[in-house]
């Protein structure tokens, strides 16, 4: 068997099986998952991979007839063909049939991308100031843009966000994930790079031991009463200063002891995808002149080969990048994920490779008080102009609603639109019928203009939103009523043990990843479910009135 699925989180399993191209091995992985943890999401990943190969017929090696395809379809299909011999066969088939010039050029270009063209063209790139002399380019005036050439990069840094003197849960989750990533990285590449925790704020020195216990090898921090409240400029300047400390671009070498490191900037950085974390991650990466993948739910490190001339420097060349952080995030529509890579150009380096992580995406580790680590305090200057805005008064908001940790979550979507108040009432009644349940909603309700009666209006607040920009839940039972199943919602609940969907649309996307699907009107189905819980008997007639589907 190519791999043991039990050794992977679901977010890690998908990338891992991309390297398995044998259907028999994939079926063995599927059987191992069924015999082991038997996770619905994991089984779907493997089944989807198997289905892909079966649809391709011969495993995606180009077994198609170009005469039966449009040029656009051929262009897509050619990306799966890595054999020059097979590409030449496809070219001959096209010449004997349609003999379309544009198709022949597509095949020739694919052949060149694999074996390299005899006449390689160097991609010349002029500076933006020369290409656009009529425009003002603020980035051209930045102190560090392209100043760092042949830099050295090591370690994975984790920004550990805090509130009220405590680490956020997502900070703990990122430390655990970073520990697992760097342990695997060191084993794979024979190196000894570290996890570095970063703390900024007032009184954060008290948290350094906890950060080490959660997986960090080194903790760097700066504390000051002025940093008690998150502010964009000081936090950006300080994090960037810490990232450069001891390196070629360190402009304040007396701010702290940087003898513990021998590199210019971090190799990787993780930020939390919280309100403050999203702001800070974008600002820091812009200051460090690199890229950012935001709102990620999956991370892994692997080598990658690209043929994009912007990255290779020559048309037709391939270039291998080692130990690239692959950052997975949900697309804006459809049930797909994009994997974001931050790769150097021939004339410009992009480090650190950085991602912001959706809270709840990874499991938080158990603290290990016996772990040992190093701690370094810094004292960068804090110019008065960084604190031009003074907060004279503030109100403490309620801590909000925590939907995690419940056995059952009942979630409502835009299907309640015919009567929003009654729909919310029915959801609350079903929630109350369970011993340990909570009510959640989709972003569609949060952003809608529904007019709720006062007694249920509070349940339509953003604090109950589940999904990419809301909470991530993993209950034993998830009841999705009137929810279409957009990917932004899916990432917030697809790790639930059992998913029951109620929807009038037989083609709703949520049907594809539900364990049970009830085709029916939630205004009829939810009362029947509530009555069944309270009586201990299910009135199947009440359900079948709208039709029942069991996937």
pLDDT digits (tens, 9 = 90+) for 117-162: 444 455 555 665 666 666 665 554 444 444 566 789 999 999 999 9
Q: Are residue 102 and residue 226 in the same domain, yes or no?
A: no
436: in domain: yes
142: in domain: no
- For residue 212, the model assigns a pLDDT of 97
Lowest-confidence region among 88-102, 237-251, 361-375, 400-414: 88-102
Lowest-confidence region among 147-156, 395-404, 471-480, 501-510: 395-404
- For residue 280, the model assigns a pLDDT of 96
Boundary (domain end) residue, out of 328, 356, 386: 386
Under 8 Å between Cβ of 314 and 121: yes
Confidence of residue 326 (pLDDT cuts 50, 70, 90): very high
- For residue 269, the model assigns a pLDDT of 97
pLDDT in tens, 67-86: 777 776 777 677 777 778 88
74: in domain: yes
pLDDT in tens, 261-319: 999 999 999 999 988 999 999 999 999 989 999 989 899 999 988 888 878 777 777 88
Lowest-confidence region among 125-129, 325-329, 379-383: 125-129
Closest CA to 443 of 477, 478, 467: 467
DSSP letters for 509-547:
GGGGG-SEEEES-HHHHHHHHHHHHHHS---HHHHHTS-
Confidence of residue 486 (pLDDT cuts 50, 70, 90): confident
3-state secondary structure 495-510: CCCEEEEEECCCCCHH
Residue 292 tokens, joined? 């950012």
Which residues are 324's β-sheet partners?
302
120: in domain: no
Q: Are residue 288 and residue 433 in the same domain, yes or no?
A: no
- For residue 344, the model assigns a pLDDT of 84
- For residue 448, the model assigns a pLDDT of 87
**Higher-scoring residue by pLDDT: 362, 17:** 362
Q: Are residue 321 and residue 225 in the same domain, yes or no?
A: yes
Lowest-confidence region among 81-90, 167-176, 198-207, 377-386: 81-90
136: in domain: no
- For residue 146, the model assigns a pLDDT of 43
- For residue 133, the model assigns a pLDDT of 66
- For residue 170, the model assigns a pLDDT of 93
Under 8 Å between Cβ of 299 and 184: no
- Alpha-carbon gap, residue 483 to 521, rounded angstroms: 12
Q: Are residue 305 and residue 422 in the same domain, yes or no?
A: no
**Higher-scoring residue by pLDDT: 545, 32:** 32
131: in domain: no
Compute φ and ψ for 156, nearest 5 degrees: -110, 120
pLDDT in tens, 19-73: 777 788 888 888 888 888 887 767 877 877 777 666 554 434 446 677 777 776 7
- For residue 130, the model assigns a pLDDT of 66
pLDDT of 546 > 70? The answer is no
Under 8 Å between Cβ of 351 and 151: yes
Q: What would you measure as the largest C-alpha separation in the chain, in angstroms?
A: 79
Which residues are 305's β-sheet partners?
320
- For residue 92, the model assigns a pLDDT of 87
Q: Are residue 210 and residue 309 in the same domain, yes or no?
A: yes
**Higher-scoring residue by pLDDT: 332, 117:** 332
pLDDT in tens, 210-256: 999 999 999 999 999 999 989 999 999 999 999 999 888 888 999 99
Q: Are residue 412 and residue 362 in the same domain, yes or no?
A: no
pLDDT of 538 > 80? The answer is no
**Higher-scoring residue by pLDDT: 547, 53:** 53
Helix (H, G, I), strand (E, B) or coil at 133: coil
Span 537-546, average pLDDT: 61
Task: State the residue range of the domain holding 417.
Answer: 408-544
505: in domain: yes
- Alpha-carbon gap, residue 165 to 330, rounded angstroms: 32
Q: Are residue 381 and residue 512 in the same domain, yes or no?
A: no
Confidence of residue 548 (pLDDT cuts 50, 70, 90): very low
- For residue 64, the model assigns a pLDDT of 65
- Alpha-carbon gap, residue 93 to 74, rounded angstroms: 12
pTM: 0.62
Structural domain total, the chain? 4
- For residue 164, the model assigns a pLDDT of 84
- For residue 142, the model assigns a pLDDT of 45
Q: Are residue 191 and residue 47 in the same domain, yes or no?
A: no
Percent of the chain with pLDDT over 70: 85
Span 95-107, average pLDDT: 83
Span 454-480, average pLDDT: 91
403: in domain: no
Chain centroid, CA 194 distance in Å: 22
Which residues are 122's β-sheet partners?
314
- For residue 52, the model assigns a pLDDT of 64
The CATH number of residue 534's host domain is 3.40.50.1220
Q: Are residue 32 and residue 165 in the same domain, yes or no?
A: no
Span 339-363, average pLDDT: 88
Q: Are residue 50 and residue 76 in the same domain, yes or no?
A: no
Q: Are residue 351 and residue 479 in the same domain, yes or no?
A: no
pLDDT of 503 > 60? The answer is yes
- For residue 184, the model assigns a pLDDT of 94
pLDDT of 115 > 70? The answer is no
Span 352-356, average pLDDT: 95
Q: Are residue 234 and residue 304 in the same domain, yes or no?
A: yes
- For residue 418, the model assigns a pLDDT of 92
- Alpha-carbon gap, residue 35 to 312, rounded angstroms: 45
Classify the C-alpha dihedral 266-271-276-281 as positive or negative: positive
Lowest-confidence region among 70-79, 172-181, 211-220, 515-524: 70-79
């Amino acid at each position: 068997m190519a791999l043991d699925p039990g050794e992977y989180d679901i977010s890690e399993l998908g990338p891992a099986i991309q390297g398995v191209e044998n259907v028999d091995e994939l079926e063995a992985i599927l059987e191992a998952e069924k015999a082991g943890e038997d996770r619905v999401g994991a089984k779907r990943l493997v089944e989807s991979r198997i289905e892909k190969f079966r649809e391709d017929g011969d495993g995606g090696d180009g077994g198609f007839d170009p005469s039966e395809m449009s040029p656009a379809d051929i262009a897509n299909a050619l990306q799966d063909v890595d054999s020059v011999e097979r590409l030449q066969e496809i070219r001959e088939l096209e010449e004997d049939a349609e003999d379309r010039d544009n198709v022949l050029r597509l095949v020739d270009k694919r052949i060149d991308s694999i074996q390299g063209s005899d006449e390689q063209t160097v991609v010349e790139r002029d500076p933006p100031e020369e290409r656009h002399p009529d425009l003002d380019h603020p980035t051209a005036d930045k102190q560090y843009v392209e100043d760092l050439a042949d830099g050295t990069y090591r370690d994975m840094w984790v920004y550990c966000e805090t509130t009220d003197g405590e680490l956020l849960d997502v900070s703990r989750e990122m430390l655990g994930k970073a520990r697992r990533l760097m342990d695997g990285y060191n084993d794979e590449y024979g190196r000894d790079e570290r996890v570095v925790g970063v703390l900024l704020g007032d009184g954060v020195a008290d948290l350094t031991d906890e950060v080490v216990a959660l997986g960090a090898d080194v903790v760097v921090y700066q504390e000051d009463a002025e940093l008690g409240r998150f502010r964009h400029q000081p936090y950006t300047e300080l994090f960037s200063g810490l990232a450069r400390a001891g390196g070629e671009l360190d402009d304040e070498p007396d701010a702290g002891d940087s003898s513990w490191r021998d590199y210019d900037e971090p190799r990787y950085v993780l930020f939390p995808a919280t309100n403050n974390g999203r702001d800070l991650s974008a600002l820091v990466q812009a200051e460090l002149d690199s890229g950012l993948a935001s709102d990620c739910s999956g991370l892994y490190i692997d080598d990658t080969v690209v043929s994009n001339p912007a990255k290779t420097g020559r048309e037709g060349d391939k270039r291998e990048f080692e130990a690239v952080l692959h950052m997975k995030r949900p697309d804006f529509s459809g049930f797909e994920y994009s994997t974001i890579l931050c790769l150097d150009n021939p004339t410009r380096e992009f480090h650190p490779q950085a991602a912001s992580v959706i809270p709840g995406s990874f499991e938080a580790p158990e603290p290990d008080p016996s772990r040992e680590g190093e701690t370094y305090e810094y004292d960068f200057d804090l110019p008065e102009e960084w604190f031009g805005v003074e907060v004279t008064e503030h109100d403490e908001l309620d801590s909000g609603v925590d939907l995690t940790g419940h056995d059952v979550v009942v979630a409502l979507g835009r299907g309640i639109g015919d009567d929003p108040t009654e729909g919310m009432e029915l959801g609350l009644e079903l929630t109350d019928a369970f011993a340990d349940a909570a009510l959640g909603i989709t972003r569609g309700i949060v952003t809608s203009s529904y007019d709720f009666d006062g007694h249920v209006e509070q349940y339509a607040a953003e604090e109950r939103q589940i999904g990419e920009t809301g909470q991530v839940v993993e209950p034993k039972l998830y009841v999705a009523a009137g929810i279409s199943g957009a990917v932004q919602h899916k990432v917030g609940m697809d790790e639930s043990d059992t998913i029951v969907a109620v929807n009038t649309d037989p083609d709703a996307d949520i049907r594809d990843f539900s364990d049970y699907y009830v085709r029916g009107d939630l205004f009829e189905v939810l009362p029947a479910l509530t009555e069944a819980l309270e009586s201990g008997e299910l009135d199947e007639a009440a359900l079948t009135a709208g039709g029942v589907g069991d996937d």
